Structure 1
């Protein structure tokens, strides 16, 4: 009597990350190259930016330089601070979009066991750059509109309370603080819900060649029934990556606060940058890989993947894997809807 096959696994964050690890390990040199090209510049700039910005802001401190005692200290130029911030945002955004295009493409190819080539991945990063940018502008416009509506609603509510309900109400700092806290909580709840539904939008842009609002709608349809996996992925990676940024900021602030000797302790500063950048690069790689794998599982749950896999095996396609991890992978999952 044949032994019954084990039931397919229920989709969760662990299953998604395990599959991501399988694909990354199967093409380790490829993803190492992509990480160095696109992710490492992001993590390095995120790690170094707090130190540079704090040094500029605190350049008027008497302990900043030896010669500072001989001159009148001027506050930092706001234009310099603003220019640095704009440059940082543009740099991170550009490399982030390039990394999404290349790594998503590679994970998608690796999932099917197809050859994963560096040139094709780099080409995909530039091909999908403008569609990804258009989708980013669309999503940020919606988020900004929600914030604007909440702000106007809070302002209108305050005016109604003062003019119609309680004319003698004194609007003080505590009132504004409480109202701001409520608005922020509502805004965070709405935006979190949106990003839970939009988590697959960037994969849709790269894989399905769409842009703008279409990937956002498509992602919302795919995520139905998988919101818990989406939320857990957002929470885990947000906390982990934010911790790396927080560590860099705290280290920079503590060193500058101890006399501005950040650059004199070169060894400690370099070690901190190397460790933080490496960990942040790994987190971003697995975040992108996990999102792409989750896209495939969501398609399986929605019943869209079976036909694609049948077509994949029906093609006259020759796969020459270097090891067992690179063979085409069939998804079998249990869905508790």
Structure 2
């Protein structure tokens, strides 16, 4: 074992042991620290540069064995110039934060760490149009790809693809379920454009303050579809839309709507049917760190078929809260 010590009285500590400690602390992670860190945006008045937001990143060393990891923090915004394209064609550029440590043998860097920084925002011009990562052997993090049309000097937001990844993203799994409903609750009698809670229940969920996205997996299982529930008006089909609501006060997020369409095959037999909603939904800042009401909702079409929530129906919503990069304005 190489003799090296950290935080030991009377012992010298090398830069390498500090970097290796950071590697251990971050489990060899590579990425931004907080969701809004180092976001790349157009200038306030779009021009020939882009701006990189304040924030921090950890970069896992790629140029040497046991190199360790580096921590960099951009204090304030920094503008990075982008070369214009000419009439010869468009171009894709990769904007990265790169560590250029001259103390690592075999690297081309010639900075003097006593007077120069070793962390730089760099543009790699002419990358493939589907590039999402830094080049192999580079100690750095990819921030954005800029896809520039032909004969263009002004960079606008629609040309910028966010490539940031979290260093150590947090997740939390929540599940709410209920089996059996008494009295029977019918779906389809409340019709578009109106919505009802179906089944008629409300759960509460604590949304983590760090969560910027929720993945929703909701299921209405074993719902009853019976001829005897026909309203007597229009088709006997049971049709409508489904969605999931998370609401706190006046703030609410909704999933993309799903749809159901069940067709009667017999005028005497009943059926058990299933529906689901799957979606990824961004969580706005006003709904982070609050207790929200979770509801399953339906809106019936103008047909006569009805679905019933009864003793045999199961209802459940699975929520995966994620910490993913977001815009600083979110």
Alignment TM class, shorter chain as reference:
under 0.3
Q: 1 or 2, which has the higher strand percentage?
A: 2
Name the larger-Rg structure.
2
Task: Determine which structure has greater relative contact order: mean sequence separation of CA pairs < 8 Å that are 6+ residues apart, divided by chain length.
Answer: 1
